[in-house]
Amino acid sequence: MLEIQTTMSIKCIGLLTSGGDSPGMNAAIRAVTRTAIFNKIRVKAIYRGYNGLITGEIKEFQTQDVSNIIQQGGTILKTARSEEFRTIEGMQKAYDNLKKEEIDGLVVIGGDGTFTGARIFAQQFNIPIVGIPGTIDNDLFGTDFTIGYDTALNTIINAVDKIRDTANSHERLFFIEVMGRDAGFLALNGAVASGAESAIIPEMVTNFDQLEKLIANGFRKSKNSSIVLVAEGDTIDGGAVGLANRVNKEYPQYNVRVTILGHIQRGGSPTASDRILASRMGVAAVDALLDGQRNIMIGIVNNEIVYVPFTKAIKDDKPVDKDNSLMSALRILSI
Ligand code: F6P
């Protein structure tokens, strides 16, 4: 009985993307829109993240508004990191627009910044909000994968494969810096998947002498190059540039180059995994709102949908390599 009453109370869902874009966000936008319409719920697209909620950049979507977008990278809703939404005045304007547009529940797609804003907004103004994890960083607790991570990983290995050709030809050592903010998921898994000699990640302390041994290995026998993936969050070692400078100074025998992959990792058509993940999460987000859930992120753990409170998703630690097995595999496989 209670469930039916809650279900009836949501008549119009607002949908936005916020923070760094990630491939697969469009697939999630499509899934949320069509699931809402399937359930006879109106859906309103909010442009430019929380900024659009503040300025009222809002448009009602029909199923055809999300046609032909599942394969597109980026987000058709645009995205932003809103400073004004951090203020109570900004949130009040956002709330006024929600009321004006008759939006009674929100689905927000993004990463930890997006959910931090959502959590505070939901608490202050009593709005039901459900989050969908969209970030290439894969750094949210409570879900095995975030939307965009798999595509970014594939972009990384394609780039590393190309760099390997030139590294081999010139017998060089490459430090390749990848994104991930404070997390090493992209660097560690990218290194394993591309056959790199090593990965430097913020979660683990770098032993420089051990690293040199691994690099030396790269030039032994049949191998004549060495590639080290460095997570951008590895600030202790100074990232790829800092490490390259140190190697240049202490081991001048190496011919060192640095590549910073940068925003190429955020673009491109999403992989099948990301499209499926986004589609499942989009459907689950609308179902969750209609079931009366609020202040939760949709996660998928062991292939099952789970609800994770925003506070846990943002604050709890998601281990990059719980038992060190991945790092150990990387070491074994790079001999
Ligand atoms: O969170 C996604 C991410 O791409 C991080 O990996 C990176 O540190 C950051 O966003 C870059 O942000 P911006 O696009 O604002 O430079």
Asked if the model's pLDDT at residue 1 lies above 70, the reply is: no
Mean pLDDT across the chain, nearest whole number? 95
Closest Cα to atom 12, ligand 1: which residue?
20
Residues 6+ apart with CB under 8 A from 34: 63, 66
Choosing from 136, 140, 149, 229 the residue with most ligand 1 atoms within 8 A of its CB, the one to mutate for a pocket test is: 136
Question: How many other β-carbons are positioned within 10 Å of the β-carbon of residue 112?
Answer: 22
- List, for residues 18-76, the tens digit of each pLDDT value: 999 999 999 999 999 999 999 999 999 999 999 999 999 999 999 999 999 999 999 99
Q: Which atom, in ligand 1's list, is nearest to the CA of 19?
A: 1
| Proportion of the chain above pLDDT 90, given as a percent | 90
Write down the residue that tokens 């970030």 correspond to: 135
pTM for this predicted structure:
0.95
Name the nearest CA neighbour of 201 among 323, 320, 329.
Answer: 320
Determine whether the shortest distance from the Cβ of 154 to ligand 1 is under 6 A. no
3-state secondary structure of 146: coil
**CA–CA distances in Å: residue 280 to residues 110, 124, 265, 287, 299:** 16, 29, 23, 11, 10
Determine whether the shortest distance from the Cβ of 180 to ligand 1 is under 6 A. yes
Supply the pLDDT for residue 237. 86
Closest Cα to atom 13, ligand 1: which residue?
20
Question: How many other β-carbons are positioned within 10 Å of the β-carbon of residue 309?
Answer: 16
- List, for residues 189-245, the tens digit of each pLDDT value: 999 999 999 999 999 998 888 888 888 877 775 678 999 999 999 998 899 999 999
Supply the pLDDT for residue 3. 39
Question: How many other β-carbons are positioned within 10 Å of the β-carbon of residue 316?
Answer: 12
| Proportion of the chain above pLDDT 70, given as a percent | 97
Determine whether the shortest distance from the Cβ of 136 to ligand 1 is under 6 A. yes
Q: Which atom, in ligand 1's list, is nearest to the CA of 136?
A: 2
Question: Could you tell me if 51 and 85 are in contact, meaning their C-beta atoms sit under 8 angstroms apart?
Answer: yes
Question: How many other β-carbons are positioned within 10 Å of the β-carbon of residue 195?
Answer: 15
Q: How far apart are CA 318 and CA 168, in angstroms?
A: 36
Determine whether the shortest distance from the Cβ of 266 to ligand 1 is under 6 A. yes
Based on the residue annotation, tell me whether 137 is a catalytic residue of this protein. yes
Q: How far apart are CA 92 and CA 105, in angstroms?
A: 16
Write down the residue that tokens 């281990």 correspond to: 319
